[in-house]
Amino acid sequence: MVTVRTTPPRPVDVSAVFPELAFLARPAMRLHPRPGTPSVTDSSVGGPLLWPAGEPWPHCDDAYLHVDTGFRQSPAEVRLHRRLQSRWRADGRRPVFTPEEDALKERSAAELAERLEAGPPYPCECPVPMLPVAQLFLRDVPLLRPPGQADLLQILWCPYEHEPDDKPATALFWRSAAKVGDILTTPPEPYEADYPGYVPEPCVLAPEAITDFPNSLDLSPQLQRALEDWDRWQAAGVDSSYARYPREFYSIHLGNAPGWKVGGWPPWGRTDPSPRYCAVCNVQMLPLLTIASWEWDGGEGHSWAPQEDQAVALVRSHRAGQDPAQPTRVEVGSTDNMQIYVCPASPDHPHTDLIQ
């Protein structure tokens, strides 16, 4: 686990200014992923999984979707390119490759040449091995509600876009960590990823419990109108720059904490709120995990940056691939969020996901 990350106090106490919103508060945990070297016994994003050696690694069976073009990058190539970006010299000179990186480059070039020589359709191993997205232990994220004796959540995805929503297909597993014996040390990886943003960078976590309020679009028409009452915001000391659009103050600084998050409220924006219902029992599903492209927004949205990161959050430009607001290097949709939903009635019912 990384050092503590602390969300700054909100500019105003929303439940004090609008007591009618207090009953909508939900518990959530911001995960605060940061680049690191997690082990199989750590909670992580994009890190190795505590996966039993005797259990088959999950694969995506939608073979017709997995067209190996020979031109996309493999996960190993994506990670190599990122390492090189991080070492690019200030004087513009290329970084020096390590022997291991030289070997990876040569191997990747040889594989590409072999596939191109074979001609279309290019050989493709289908079904495609899935990539780890997140591993969360109950001890670190007590907000999880695992079934039975489980204390570990593992989420993976297929790094190809799937119809009809053009997003990676996801898989979710609950397990008891104590029951994992021998561990799978070298899980399979896909030949390619549709986009580098579907290859999470290994990150350690610093989970933080917060109180989450809904996106303004999740509010009733009456509450949305209440947020337009500038007199109430003014009495709370809100800057007059929000006088024309007071609801923006709520949207930017108070509602729906950004970033990787367990529980809380879902983000909206690509569409209006669209509740998810269980395909088995038709119960309304609850947000489990937000997979975020950004930990906080630029501009005024940096108020959500942890206190420990405020100095770097104010920097307007960063070296390629070094933006602290995107530590996981994940990008879903058009730098949107993927929401994982589960059925509150039964953990055995299938989960669902949504891009917003």
Distance CA 48, CA 345 (A): 30
Q: Strands 337-342, 352-355: parallel, antiparallel or unpaired by DSSP? A: antiparallel
138 and 153 part of one domain: yes
Domain boundary among 163, 196, 229: 196
What pLDDT score does 73 carry? 84
- State whether 7 and 55 are in the same domain: no
- The answer to the question of residue 260 being in a domain is yes
| SS3 of residue 156 by DSSP | strand
Q: Is 152 inside a domain boundary?
A: yes
pLDDT of residue 5: 96
**What burial class does residue 225 get, using C-beta atoms within 10 Å of its C-beta: 0-12 exposed, 13-18 middle, 19+ buried?**
exposed
Task: Encode burial over 33-49: b for 16+ CB neighbours within 10 A, e otherwise.
Answer: bbbbebebebbbbbbbb
**216 lies in the same domain as 247:** yes
**β-sheet with 26-30: strand ranges across:** 208-212, 26-30, 261-263, 286-292, 337-342, 352-355
Asked whether residue 202 is domain-assigned, the answer is: no
Q: Please give the chain's pLDDT, 356 residues, in tens.
A: 678 999 999 999 999 999 999 999 999 999 999 999 999 999 999 999 999 999 999 999 885 566 555 567 889 889 888 887 776 655 566 667 777 767 767 776 676 666 666 655 555 557 899 999 999 999 999 999 999 999 999 999 999 988 888 899 999 999 999 999 999 999 999 888 889 999 999 999 999 999 999 999 999 999 999 999 999 999 999 999 999 999 999 999 999 999 999 999 999 988 899 999 999 999 999 999 999 999 998 777 789 999 999 888 877 666 555 788 999 999 998 889 999 999 999 989 999 999 99
pLDDT of residue 58: 97
- On the CB side of 95, CA atoms within 13 Å amount to 16
Do 176 and 222 sit in the same domain of this protein? Answer: no
In a domain, 12, yes or no: yes
- Residue 201 inside a domain? The answer is no
Same domain assignment for residues 46 and 189: yes
Residues 182 and 258 in one domain: no
- C-alpha dist (Å) from residue 213 to 93, 180, 238, 262: 47, 37, 18, 14
Q: Looking at the structure, do residues 52 and 176 belong to the same domain, yes or no?
A: yes
Do both 100 and 243 map to the same domain?
Answer: no
pLDDT at 65: 63
Task: Note whether 281 and 139 are same-domain residues.
Answer: no
Indicate if 145 and 26 belong to the same structural domain: no
SS3 label, residue 145: coil
Closest CA to 335 of 300, 307, 295: 295
How many structural domains compose the chain?
A: 2
pLDDT of residue 271: 86
315 within a domain of the structure (yes/no): yes
Q: Is residue 240 part of a domain?
A: yes
How far is C-alpha 352 from the chain's CA centre? 15
| Range(s) of the domain holding residue 26 | 1-30+207-355
In a domain, 104, yes or no: yes
**What pLDDT sits at residue 305?**
95
Q: Are residues 183 and 42 in the same domain?
A: yes
CA distance 228 to 226: 5
- Of 176, 196, 216, the last residue of a domain is 196
Domain end point (choices 196, 221, 247): 196
Packing angle between helix 75-87 and helix 99-118, nearest 10 degrees?
A: 140
Q: Are residues 41 and 105 in the same domain?
A: yes
